[in-house]
Structure 1
Amino acid sequence: MNVSAAVPHIMLVAGEPSGDALGGELMAALKEMTGGRVRFSGVGGTRMTAEGIASIFPMTDISVMGPREIVPRLPAILKRIRQTVNHAVAEKPEILIVIDSPEFTHLVARRVARRAPSIPIIDYVLPSVWAWRRGRARAMKKYVRRVLALLPFEPAFLRTVGVDCVYVGHPAINRVPEPGAGERFRAARGIPPGVPLLLVLPGSRLNEVKHLIGIFGDTVRRIAADTSGLRVVLPVVPHVRERVETAVASWPVEVVIVEEEMEKRAAFDAATAALAASGTVSLELGLARVPMVIAYRAEAAVGWFALRILKIPSVVLVNLILDRPSVREYLQFRCTPEALAEGLAPLLHDTPERARALADLDELRDRIGVGGEAPSRRAARAVLEILEASPA
């Protein structure tokens, strides 16, 4: 299909706020790169609605997490899957883009591929098949034309199973602190430039905080005893703030709690080092050049099972992207205050360990593409390539 000669209809399906944000940015880039000659339909939230999508139903109907939430709502979710598939089959968009939330979006994609095989399907955000279920990657070849990858090692992995994949970049690139933000953060809170500032990030879910906040508190006590003038900043999301405030009241240092997004970015820029729960935050810290140690602790049975089925050498995205154990990680029984404090101590001072960590994070920024074209524009270009290649 020649995009310049027609107004293509692109259907997008997102299932949660992070996917809605990606979808909204992609839609904006597509409009810019086609001069507005594109129309949208599908399922999205506030960000995608602002860019012109009329959601088939409220995205909140399918924004659920885990079996405990999914099971009681399964009939309603299955109804929404059928509704989404029927829309695609009836409207016959030039392309269908499913965004993250694979428990919902991939069910939609498989059914659309069976009923309307002529519709090219793009998957934006590869499920972590390289970590858990490699067989699922092979299955994707049957219904996905192209994957838009957030991580630079994903295209090479998918090539091994014959799936077309383009690296477009991670949205964390958009959250890199602006120059000078850290200096302003320190000045506003009376933290001199040379004073060590530790970021503590116990997670965004209550269960994560429950398992880590006590261990992190004991780690801070050990670090504070050996680090003169230590200051601590703890970014939170609203639903865990009360739990965190109760816990840090007994810590031996004053803890600055920040919740607003721009303050969090500024705190990253101001930090000397970080103690963080395993997750995407490790990549955000790395792109902000914050040396870190990563921790993970869950119920014994859950943690044992998770570590047994992992197909990768590390749970830290920085290590996977660099393909070496740059960031220390302390998982399950290794996640102790003594071990965490030992790993953190050299990162808070001018040491060879800190210099090596910063050099590695500079390499990470280069591999991810900080300072280059925005991920949304790379993604839009990859979508338009498929549109151009499609028959009229």
Structure 2
Amino acid sequence: MNTGGDRPPRHIMLVAGETSGDTLGAELMAALKEMSPFPLVFSGVGGENMEREGLSSIFPMTDIAVMGPREIIPRLPLIFRRIWQTVRHAVEAKPDIVVVIDSPEFTHMVAKRIARRAPSIPIVDYVLPSVWAWRQSRARAMKKYIRRVLALLPFEPAFLRSAGVDCVYVGHPAIHRVPEAGAGARFREVHGIGPADPLLLVLPGSRLNEVKHLIGIFGDVVKQLARDIPNLRVVLPTVPHVRELVERAAASWPVDVLVVWDETEKRAAFGAATAAMAASGTVALELGLARVPMVIAYRAEAIVGWFALSVLKIPSVVLVNLILDRPAVREYLQSRCTTADLLDGLRPLMSDTAERHRALADLDELRARIGVGGVPPSRRAAQAVLELL
């Protein structure tokens, strides 16, 4: 759209803190530019994808894309400097609206401080922190500094409205990242993988710390599977900032490992896969919508993992299970994240078994519940932001 003529531009500040937020932010920016009735200017914090859409990040997003005490504690002085730098930018630039995207440990600290110093600036939260999972009282606290939440999951609006928080369900971007028809077959053909060859996706995460915790045990599982399944093929989708680590680890695996980092290749690999072994996170939903049976793993430093699981308010960390309201996907957390346990869950998914058929039926139900097709979530999110302008 953007046919504003002489209308003054509107300034939208966006703040993302890691790779997934950068992707969401870029999709939102593209939709905003297409749908806005007036010119737009952008500022804030983002990565390569948001910069391609016109954002000049006020500092490198990699400064704050950290996870776990070992990474966070040494960088606390830098992280706090970046928080205040972001807040100062908002107060001085006076944007018409601020959109904070995921990474609540950083973005909500920024949002609270902007709200105190510039209360007239509306703040939108894109991706609700998992308050329904950890700290349910936090939802009520968000009323003080968040004007509107853009929810990705169908059960979130009712939860937030019960706490008095304005919430618009926009849908999960994974809905529109399912592989195109025929992409999986083309992927196998291009990479010399036979139509009947068992193909395992290995996804150890996008954050350095989670990759470090999982890549070794995932490698042990692959080594055992390779002995059980002589024609096993492995694809390892990754992101640029952990690519070197995963390639170095996979070099010792007794199978040819295809490492992919391009988003189109990754989606095609999902369409080609027999099954997947993945770190807990959004990728479980992406796999589910692509109809890839999976096992999910989580491992962290002992005290961090113990604390995380002890305060959990939900029966599962897997979004597929929460949406279906049953344990459709096996999850292996902390002490249960062992080679033997992962193999026990993964083996039946690699061939034509009753377990695999049940898994596929569950994932078909997931696709029906969450909705595949329709208006893209990024456009729904853009509309919800433009309404506040």
TM over 0.5: yes
Shift of 1:36: 4.3
Post-superposition Cα deviations, 1:215-258, rounded to whole Å, max 9, x if no partner, equal 33343344344445332222233454454445445544433333
The corresponding residue for 1:380 is 382
- Aligned residue for 1:365, secondary structure, equals helix
The corresponding residue for 1:163 is 165
The corresponding residue for 1:329 is 331
The corresponding residue for 1:63 is 64
The answer to whether the 8 A contact 2:16-2:61 is kept is no
The answer to whether the 8 A contact 1:64-1:70 is kept is no
CA distance in 2, matches of 1:84, 1:202: 31
CA distance in 2, matches of 1:345, 1:178: 27
The answer to whether the 8 A contact 2:16-2:103 is kept is yes
Task: Determine whether 1:23 maps to 2:20.
Answer: no
Deviates more, 1:112-121 or 1:159-168: 112-121
Shift of 1:78: 4.4
- Aligned residue for 1:329, secondary structure, equals strand
The answer to whether the 8 A contact 1:61-1:77 is kept is no
Aligned partner letter, 2:325 = D
The corresponding residue for 1:342 is 344
The equivalent position to 2:363 in structure 1, one of 337, 361, 364, is 361
Shift of 1:166: 1.3
Alignment of 1:261-340 (within 5 A): 261-340=263-342
Deviates more, 1:361-370 or 1:74-83: 74-83
CA distance in 2, matches of 1:256, 1:54: 34
- What's the C-alpha RMSD, in Å, of the aligned pairs? 2.9
Identity of aligned residues (%): 74
Q: Which has the larger radius of gyration?
A: 1
- Structure 1 stretches of 5 or more lacking a match? 388-392
The corresponding residue for 1:390 is none
CA distance in 2, matches of 1:251, 1:64: 29
- Aligned residue for 1:134, secondary structure, equals coil
Aligned residues: 384
CA distance in 1, matches of 2:238, 2:62: 26
Shift of 1:129: 1.8
The corresponding residue for 1:212 is 214
Alignment of 1:1-392 (within 5 A): 8-55=10-57, 57-60=58-61, 62-66=63-67, 74=76, 77-227=79-229, 229-387=231-389
Post-superposition Cα deviations, 1:59-106, rounded to whole Å, max 9, x if no partner, equal 448524245555555555545544544444455443222222323322
Normalised by the size of structure 1, how large is the TM-score? 0.86
CA distance in 2, matches of 1:204, 1:168: 24
Aligned partner letter, 1:353 = E
Shift of 1:177: 1.7
Deviates more, 1:246-255 or 1:23-32: 246-255
- Aligned residue for 1:279, secondary structure, equals coil
- Aligned residue for 1:204, secondary structure, equals coil
Deviates more, 1:139-148 or 1:188-197: 188-197
CA distance in 2, matches of 1:71, 1:249: 31
The answer to whether the 8 A contact 1:175-1:265 is kept is yes
Shift of 1:366: 3.0
Change in Cα spacing, 1:136 to 1:315, as seen in structure 2 (3 Å) is same
Deviates more, 1:289-298 or 1:344-353: 344-353
Normalised by the size of structure 2, how large is the TM-score? 0.86
CA distance in 2, matches of 1:156, 1:236: 35
CA distance in 2, matches of 1:251, 1:298: 23
- Aligned residue for 2:137, secondary structure, equals helix
CA distance in 2, matches of 1:199, 1:121: 38
The answer to whether the 8 A contact 1:148-1:166 is kept is yes
The answer to whether the 8 A contact 1:14-1:59 is kept is no
CA distance in 2, matches of 1:317, 1:364: 10
Change in Cα spacing, 1:264 to 1:79, as seen in structure 2 (3 Å) is closer
